[in-house]
A and B are shown apart, each in its own frame.
Chain A
């Protein structure tokens, strides 16, 4: 397995330049690399989400998994597909669509690979209906730090034999092992699509509309809010003594229906009535499902009903999208944002804020993951069991793991 110096390629991970780069093409080669080297290793796929974890404390070897690019097995009748880690979601989607099927994950990063999506736990708007990686991944094979290849799960949707290690590898940024292949539960491609778009003029309204949808019998595949925040300006503009604490949140809410034609039509009409307005569009607007950019980009998670509180806690100049009924939002906030204060403000709602993107220069002063949970000791023990020498993605996980 060739390992070559990294410098000419100019690749880096959050500002850290790797010494060498390896691009294996089989799981056996991945195992070989890990067995035959001693140094620190940072696994990446296409590299679209390397900013989602903290910068590594060291990177002797950048391990690219893009060479593992085979779709190993697709059993349309069983709605299951087995792919190697380097397969790109887009190309997998195209292949599956020929059979009227899909892997119901829709993170937007162009060129993203299956392995990177698992490692970063990336998702998109349709998580409302289909869930995230942890809900769709039914089997996984990894190469551990010592070169051992191990699988967990299987190739059937229902399976409770043994611990479900896929859950642990999801969102672990390669820190427990290098994902080399994955088995997924698939869904049928919906026949028809339609949206209802409603303008939103403040945070409370965003919350009210989302709650109406969440409590209704409508079955949208996504409910996405685009928002711009100007809280302080709005507060200044408010007349003193007014009981309404005006929130400077504006945007629009998109309700996406994907089903058979008759259902999309009936549900869109019902949504207009329920929300008291809006327009029907065939396709979602261009911002739908895209991540915000600029400044510091955060992923926020919180109790779904706390959406208005979270929007109000964001600093002026923030903008982004929220997967409204699930309690997840992506926000671009100014570089001057006091992250600790923001985290404290959303904490009562089980809220958290994780950095996804920031200029390399700004990284140094950033607390990437935020405070550690009370299970951090246990997380450390898990990390130490899987990677006792701390050679995989060192420092990239929460608390510097």
Chain B
């Protein structure tokens, strides 16, 4: 796993404009740091600019903000104490898991505290009888499946970043993965969470049972991108590992045929565990990076996985082959063992990083369209790319219409990064116009907050703010993310001006 590649743009401090010494900390930061050292221990509170610099950005990397204070929490109580201290001082805080988020959700607030949770990595309990695993928020996604494996169980949500991303970050982003077509997203697998609310109160949402009397606050918390509080413990459910898994790699000479095959499979009543698609440029990149041996000359490949009882999988596999052949698939490979299966997935799961092999820099987008519009959308993306004179590699969860266009650019060319972002924006507009969404799994963060108003009306956004105001009336939890216009609670909609409420996430933007 590597950090995503846009950071090439900002690695050189000369170009980013961040001075090495930073700006002097404000008086309230100095006071808060002192208080935090008293309460949780000096070794967990960082204020040295050189140390703070490590935490300036997450996986988005195009936006960097140096936090005022970094807290390396090593116990749940450290989180509670930190949030409480922030609440007392009226200082904003941002939670950070593994920092792999691609929408800038974990970008710090300059005059605020970044709470790093990556030391909270205890597996609290594994209960195969009830199919539950309880973890601390910093626990890595893949570890959950590793813990459950001896009992033939697994944690279903499998983001491509699963070797490094944290469960807390998954909960905050409602992370998906290749297999969510059949198994659902993080929200369908998280049963409970202990949450430190922005005023420092600790509440338990959900639990180990599948239902609880009262409002489903857990459901609202999942996917809230750190704006409603900090999860300090998470209870997930695990699934039984299926009897059989079969994976095939299918090569096509046209994108239209590949996309048509996806629609045909779905229309035939089959729900595959995964259907992933890559186009020629993405294949080229993956080959260059991991030599995954994808079919030569393919303009598009599908990775299709079916799982379940053997008889079912065998029959459906046969059907899928027929459907692909009817759409002129020129090569179909079936993984004979776990190693071959892993290789097929390797090409797909390393695709983001692989693009770095064929381009100096790239920008990852994440949008959703109704699956049936796939061929026309890909053509339109191609047209937009030509117009912008840029190359776009397409990698996506085709089964649920979740696109990940990777926009390639040369960061040595002035203005190229900006052009890439503009092209990304145009692709998102296209998604919205077709009835889709500006994000299927990476979240809104800072990257796409301006696009929220394209997908939602003012009333819709104001209604979401009601939840924010119930959880976080003072707006201290991850301010400046998710919503296009910062707003104070209790303020009447429609009377705000941008000048009234400076955007705390506006650090240095490149």
Are A and B co-members of a single complex? yes
Chain A interface residues toward B at CB < 8 A: 75-80, 100, 121, 131-132, 134-135, 142, 144, 148-152, 154-168, 170-172, 176, 187-191, 211, 214-219, 259-260, 262-263, 266-267, 299, 301-306, 326-328, 349-352, 354, 369-370, 372-379, 381-386, 397-399
Contact B188 A135 (CB under 8 A): yes
Shortest B171–chain A CB gap in Å is: 12
Known: A148-B459, A160-B223. A263 touches B309 (CB 8 A): yes
Contact B215 A131 (CB under 8 A): no
Instruction: Give CA–CA (A135, B222) in the complex, Å.
Output: 13
Contact B315 A150 (CB under 8 A): no
Instruction: Give CA–CA (A222, B470) in the complex, Å.
Output: 38
Shortest B372–chain A CB gap in Å is: 4
Contact B130 A165 (CB under 8 A): no
16 additional contacts (CB under 8 A) given A164-B222, A165-B467, A167-B219: A80-B370, A155-B435, A156-B437, A160-B437, A162-B444, A162-B460, A170-B216, A171-B215, A218-B309, A219-B309, A219-B312, A263-B311, A373-B212, A379-B214, A379-B217, A381-B470
- Between A and B, 19 residue pairs with Cβ closer than 8 Å are A76-B267, A142-B463, A158-B176, A158-B441, A160-B439, A161-B452, A165-B467, A167-B222, A168-B220, A219-B308, A260-B311, A266-B311, A304-B130, A327-B209, A370-B213, A381-B471, A382-B470, A385-B470, A398-B215
Contact A303 B130 (CB under 8 A): yes
Which of B215, B310, B435 lies in contact with A168, CB distance below 8 A?
Answer: B215
Interface string of B454-469 (1 = CB under 8 A from A): 0111011111101111
CB-based nearest A residue for B431: A156
Contact A369 B152 (CB under 8 A): no
* B397 on the A face (CB < 8 A): yes
Shortest A104–chain B CB gap in Å is: 11
CB-based nearest B residue for A375: B203
* B375 on the A face (CB < 8 A): no
Contact B263 A77 (CB under 8 A): yes
Shortest B131–chain A CB gap in Å is: 7
Residues of A within 8 A of B130 (CB): 303-306, 327
* B211 on the A face (CB < 8 A): yes
Residues of B within 8 A of A154 (CB): 368, 435-437, 455
Residues of B within 8 A of A149 (CB): 459
Which of B209, B269, B369, B466 lies in contact with A350, CB distance below 8 A?
Answer: B209
Contact B263 A158 (CB under 8 A): no
Residues of B within 8 A of A379 (CB): 214-215, 217
Residues of B within 8 A of A189 (CB): 269
Question: How many B residues have CB within 8 A of the partner chain?
Answer: 92
Residues of A within 8 A of B372 (CB): 75, 77-78
Shortest B258–chain A CB gap in Å is: 16
Residues of B within 8 A of A144 (CB): 463
Which of A78, A151, A351 lies in contact with B456, CB distance below 8 A?
Answer: A151
Shortest B355–chain A CB gap in Å is: 22
Residues of A within 8 A of B382 (CB): none
CB-based nearest A residue for B402: A158
Contact B216 A158 (CB under 8 A): no
* B296 on the A face (CB < 8 A): no
Residues of A within 8 A of B482 (CB): 162
* B84 on the A face (CB < 8 A): no
* B184 on the A face (CB < 8 A): yes
Max chain A C-beta neighbours (<10 A), residue from B205, B215, B471: B215
CB-based nearest B residue for A270: B309
CB-based nearest B residue for A323: B210
**Top-3 shortest CB links A-B:** A167-B219, A188-B269, A217-B243
Shortest A306–chain B CB gap in Å is: 8
- Tell me the chain B residues, 162-221 only, with Cβ under 8 Å from chain A: 173-174, 176, 180, 184-185, 187-188, 197, 201, 203-205, 207-220
Shortest A204–chain B CB gap in Å is: 14
Interface string of B95-136 (1 = CB under 8 A from A): 000000000000000000000000000000001111110000
Known: A77-B266, A172-B215. A152 touches B460 (CB 8 A): yes
Contact B223 A164 (CB under 8 A): yes
Contact A165 B464 (CB under 8 A): yes
Instruction: Give CA–CA (A303, B369) in the complex, Å.
Output: 37
Residues of A within 8 A of B222 (CB): 164, 167
Residues of A within 8 A of B187 (CB): 134, 164, 167
* B271 on the A face (CB < 8 A): yes
Contact B440 A159 (CB under 8 A): yes
CB-based nearest B residue for A215: B240
Residues of B within 8 A of A303 (CB): 130, 132, 208-209
Shortest A146–chain B CB gap in Å is: 10
Instruction: Give CA–CA (A374, B241) in the complex, Å.
Output: 35
- Tell me the chain B residues, 338-386 only, with Cβ under 8 Å from chain A: 368-372
CB-based nearest A residue for B235: A350
Residues of B within 8 A of A370 (CB): 213
Contact A161 B210 (CB under 8 A): no
CB-based nearest B residue for A78: B370
Instruction: Give CA–CA (A298, B510) in the complex, Å.
Output: 58
Contact A259 B312 (CB under 8 A): yes
Residues of B within 8 A of A399 (CB): 214
Shortest B206–chain A CB gap in Å is: 9
Contact B224 A158 (CB under 8 A): no
* B401 on the A face (CB < 8 A): yes
Contact A382 B217 (CB under 8 A): yes
- Tell me the chain B residues, 417-473 only, with Cβ under 8 Å from chain A: 435-444, 448, 452, 455-457, 459-464, 466-471
Shortest B427–chain A CB gap in Å is: 15
Instruction: Give CA–CA (A267, B440) in the complex, Å.
Output: 35
Residues of B within 8 A of A385 (CB): 466-467, 469-470
Residues of B within 8 A of A218 (CB): 309
Shortest B83–chain A CB gap in Å is: 15
Which of A78, A152, A161, A260 lies in contact with B444, CB distance below 8 A?
Answer: A161
Contact B220 A158 (CB under 8 A): no
Contact B463 A150 (CB under 8 A): yes
- Tell me the chain B residues, 222-277 only, with Cβ under 8 Å from chain A: 222-224, 240-243, 263, 266-267, 269-271
Shortest A381–chain B CB gap in Å is: 4
* B400 on the A face (CB < 8 A): yes
Shortest A215–chain B CB gap in Å is: 7
Residues of A within 8 A of B241 (CB): 217
Instruction: Give CA–CA (A214, B129) in the complex, Å.
Output: 8
Residues of B within 8 A of A152 (CB): 460, 463-464
Instruction: Give CA–CA (A350, B134) in the complex, Å.
Output: 14
Instruction: Give CA–CA (A326, B65) in the complex, Å.
Output: 45
Known: A304-B131, A327-B210. A374 touches B204 (CB 8 A): yes
